[in-house]
Amino acid sequence: MMECFLRRGLEQQYEAVTKSDDSVSTIVCDWDLALIRGLGRDCEICGDATNVATHCCTTCCHSACSACWLSWSENRCLLCNADMPENGVVRAPFDVVPQTKRELASGGGEPTDRVESASNRALEGLVGLKHALGQIRTELASIVTHQAANDEDRSDESRDAVVQVDAACLSMQMQKLAGMLDSSTGCTQCCKNVEALCDAVESLTQDHTIACREGTHVCTLPTQSRKRCRALLQPNGSKRVGAVWWGQMVGIELLRNEIFSDLLPKALAAVGAGGNIDDDEMIHAVTVLSELESKFQDVGTQMEGLLQELEQQSCNLLDQMPSPRTIPFEVVSLLTPTSRIRFDDCLSEDRERIFEEEMAKQESQ
């Protein structure tokens, strides 16, 4: 409850201080020291070049972007742990840090925010699914190992006890597999997450692409947004677009094949050999295993199709992302008048960015 109270307090404070420049004029803060400590530069917490450190802790003059402060529920500084009083985080006056492009943009967001959010959810879902399958694999392997060691040197009671424990564990693992096919969790939710990411990439492409007269397309995303988008869709300069998602999918498929083709049949046979499962129960268990395997194969096929669609859409977007300065004149000449205006705005922004970078280099020398 205290965490929610603190977070709500920060949200109310941000709303108040960002309404007008005059609202922050009475805040006591050493803005010169804050500028030295990072105010107005890229946020040091999230490292996102599209997030500017606009909000400052009045106690120590350390700064971060509004998103980082909003995610922070403690009453201390993000960077140095200095005590932070109530209403101790303020937005710098506009004459100190002008309104950022995020603040000026409609909705206050960066164009690639939706893609980033959807990408994080998709990757989180795939990692969680692989982790869950890994745990099931470990439990099934332990059942096979237990039954292999359940030799005749033990008493009948001891062997029966081991079989009963392993039979209960086997039943639990099959229930977990069935639960992973539920519509709100597991495999189905992973597919929904990847589908949402496909929609986000397609929407970004449609909203920030201009068409030439002969079918050529040019992306008009700002420079930092292009870099951010490329880092999301093709991280660390990987050769394959979406390599991170495909890597998780390969791990999931390997675990699925091992579970259904090897460990589950072995565990079921080992427990059945103990004599504590009658024929009807064994037939039912084999039927359930077959149904689960078929459903997991269907989900795997669906997921593979979604990832292929995502890879294609991502490639289409990245192919349209050269710097506006590198686009040939022949392509520019094919732009419609409306598209030419958008392209000129994009080119002006790119030139402005280069000028600001050069000025920053000269000031640092």
Average pLDDT of span 262-280:
80
Alpha-carbon dihedral sign for residues 80, 52, 103, 26 = positive
DSSP string, 42-96: B-TTT--TT-B--EEETTT--EE-HHHHHT--SSB-TTT--B--TT-EEEPPTTT
pLDDT band at 254 (very low <50, low <70, confident <90, very high): very high
Q: Between these two residues, 89 and 318, which has the higher pLDDT value?
A: 89
Burial class (CB in 10 A: 0-12, 13-18, 19+), 334: middle
Q: Over the stretch 83-137, which tens digit does the pLDDT of each residue have?
A: 888 778 888 888 888 877 666 654 556 778 888 888 888 888 899 899 999 999 9
Grade residue 140 by pLDDT with cuts at 50, 70 and 90: very high
63 by Cβ neighbours in 10 Å (0-12 / 13-18 / 19+) ranks as: buried
* pLDDT for position 351: 62
| Token pair recorded at residue 156 | 């009948």
Confirm if 261 and 253 have CB atoms less than 8 A apart.
Answer: no
How high is the pLDDT of residue 95? 83
| 232-236, 304-308, 338-342: least confidently modelled range | 338-342
Judge contact between 218 and 209, C-beta under 8 A: yes
3-state secondary structure of 99: coil
Find the helix or strand (DSSP H, E) in which 210 lies: strand 209-211
Write down the pLDDT at residue 211. 57
Q: Residue 104 and residue 87: Cα distance in Å, rounded?
A: 24
Q: Is the pLDDT of residue 315 over 80?
A: yes
Burial-class residue 92 by CB neighbours within 10 Å (0-12, 13-18, 19+).
buried
Q: Which residue has the tokens 């564990």?
A: 169
Q: Is the pLDDT score of 357 beyond 80? A: no
CB atoms within 10 A of CB 312: 14
Q: What is the pLDDT of residues 148-157, one digit of tens each?
A: 776 656 667 7
Name the DSSP letter for residue 21. G
